[in-house]
Amino acid sequence: MNNKYLIGVDGGSQSTKVVIFDLQGTIVSEGKKALKPMDLPKPGVVEHPEDDLWDSLIDASQEAMSNFSGNKEDIIGLGLCTIRFVRCLLKKDGTLASPALSWMDERVAKPYEHVNSEVAYVTTSSGYITHRLTRQLKDSAGNYQGMWPIDTDTWDWSESEEVFEQYNIPRDMLFDLQYPGTALGHITKEASEATGIPLGLPVVATANDKAVEALGAGMISEDAALVSLGTYIAGMVHGHENPDSPEHYFANFAAVPNEYLYECSGIRRGMWTVSWFKDLLGEELTKKADELGFSPEEYLNKEAAENVTAGSDGLMTVLDWLSPPDEPFKKGMMIGFDGRHTRAHMYHSILEGIALTMKTNVDAMSEELNKTLRSLYITGGGSNGDLMMQIFANVFGIPAKRTKVNGSASLGSAINTAVALEVHPTYEEAIEQMVQVEDTFLPEENKFQFYTRMNHEVYQHITSHTNELLKKSYQLFHES
């Protein structure tokens, strides 16, 4: 089995990644395709254009397979992970009846409305891609969060007619559910020809993208937390029970069957804000970075690390670049400017705002759960920067760890597949064999004390002073 390989698919909010791993979790080949910009035809509507989720998978798969130098017959399985909270409406033949609804679309936060007679099935992004790959009407139970008639205790559809009426989706419009780590079907001839993935390869259920990311980071200990630095930034801890009406978190399905991830409030358009700021600086930043042999991100990190101290000389960023549906008045802001501040301060302040916000949210969840956290895993593209990792360690006051495969949803998909195919008998052994911690950032005590004061005495209270003003400005500009 030493020369066998696993494919991990990570269909994210900004790109689709297809990674081929060996059985020790080492990347041997990969492909990536950026998603197209969202269609925003009117307020509240956010759609993936055309057939972008499937088309990007085709391109990423073809790239990964073309870069693979091994024997394709030694690839033994594929784990499929896609974006959560996406709603796909399918025709009888399994093609899209309308564009896939993004997790940012207001309609996914409401019960389904049957307004298109062509719609035969209502499913998730993983259900849609599973059908394109296998022609099976099956999906992972672990990717059903939000407006679905699912029993979160049994990981299956509810047996209550009232629940189905509440969500307005008849049972015959829903796919059959399976646990993470089970085979959903096999790659069809049509899918193989489109993607280059070997014909007949088993396609294995994983879970929602955040849960699979946690698995790929090796986060199954109850005294560790994970912060996923994606378009949506999430904070999670592992748990065994499905709690009833928690106040400061919600229970999300884990990528391990019958386990849960407790997830606190996060940051909408989290790392998107970092990209927005980089793009705002435009050609000047890119040109300067190129002259010094850096990427724009590396140059910003270097500039901020060398020239800005903890607290960004009083500049603070509130990360409401995308307001929640129930508080549409909220807006992102930077407060505390004076003549000392440069773009490096602004960048540093954004990173601090991310860490401080997640510290507040994770603390509220941990206190309710009566958990003491001893380590922190940071995943996603934002964890590539040493400055971000050190800020998180200093804000949380515990070691911050970065794994070797820090885009860990693809590795989590491979781990689900390894267990499904009995390559590794348990998730614990799979994690031991396939997940490697590459870097650990230790907190600096003086900065931890400073950030604790800054957070408790100032940062947490900003919005209590600005919300009323933002409500008035929202009414003014919304009316106009």
Question: Residue 328's pLDDT is what?
Answer: 92
What's the rounded Cα separation, in Å, for the pair 167 and 214? 29
What's the rounded Cα separation, in Å, for the pair 461 and 317? 12
What's the rounded Cα separation, in Å, for the pair 441 and 305? 15
What's the rounded Cα separation, in Å, for the pair 104 and 50? 17
Question: Residue 1's pLDDT is what?
Answer: 58
Amino acid at 287: K
What's the rounded Cα separation, in Å, for the pair 205 and 115? 30
Residues (pLDDT < 50) of the chain are none
Question: Residue 267's pLDDT is what?
Answer: 96
Question: Residue 88's pLDDT is what?
Answer: 98
Question: Residue 124's pLDDT is what?
Answer: 98
Question: Residue 354's pLDDT is what?
Answer: 98
In our burial notation (b when 16+ CB lie closer than 10 A, e otherwise), range 223-245 reads ebbbbbbbbbbbbbbbbeeeeee
What's the rounded Cα separation, in Å, for the pair 96 and 286? 39
Share above pLDDT 70 across residues of the chain, in percent, rounded to a whole number: 99
How far is the CA of 158 from the CAs of 131, 182, 252, 370, 450, in angstroms?
23, 21, 17, 31, 49
Question: Residue 2's pLDDT is what?
Answer: 65
Q: How far is CA 259 from the centre of its chain?
A: 18
pLDDT in tens, 167-195: 999 999 999 999 999 999 999 999 999 99
Write out the two tokens for 374.
């001893």
Mean pLDDT of the chain: 95
DSSP string, 282-330: HHHHHHHHHHHT--HHHHHHHHHHHH--TTGGG-EEE--SS--TT-TT-
What's the rounded Cα separation, in Å, for the pair 461 and 59? 46
Q: Is 252 helix (H, G, I), strand (E, B) or coil?
A: strand
pTM here? 0.88
**Residue 26 phi, psi dihedral angles, 5° rounding:** -85, 135
The residue whose two tokens read 């919005």 is 463
How far is the CA of 228 from the CAs of 239, 257, 277, 355, in angstroms?
17, 21, 20, 11
